[in-house]
Amino acid sequence: MPAADIRAAILNDGAGEARKVTVARWGDVYVRDINGDEFDRYTREAKEALGDLAETHQYAFAAALVLCDENGNRVFDPMNPEDLALLGKRRKRDLEALVSAGAETGN
């Protein structure tokens, strides 16, 4: 494949679009892809702002990064300790379903 075609395919891959997934206990929800820059920035900022809390709520943090509404707007703030605590009390398998769905869609 020519370099121009590879570049075009990468630039038109739909990164950041919301995708509907089904989580058994929650029904249909949406996840969005996280680009590499976002992941790096949020991870760095979380360690700086939240300290050990970022490590304590790893699944909650990852779920907050991918869970969104149908327009791609985050439902929970991954930098908000209250949101992380709320998500941290959810079943691990439900959080894993969100994170896995985000990874399957291109994270």
Q: What sign results for the dihedral spanned by CA atoms 57, 45, 78, 34?
A: negative
5 token code pair? 């075609």
pLDDT tier at 59, thresholds 50, 70, 90: confident
Q: Please tell me the distance from the alpha carbon of residue 12 to that of residue 27, in angstroms, as a whole number.
A: 29
Integer Cα distance of 91 and 46 in angstroms: 22
Rounded CA-CA distance 71/80 in Å is 21
Max mean pLDDT among 8-12, 37-41, 57-61, 93-97 falls in 93-97
Question: Which domains are assigned to the chain?
Answer: 16-104 (3.30.2220)
Q: Given this model, what pLDDT does residue 103 score?
A: 64
What is the structure's pLDDT at 55?
A: 67
Q: What is the pTM of this model?
A: 0.75
Strands of the 18-23 sheet, one edge to the other = 18-23, 27-32, 67-68
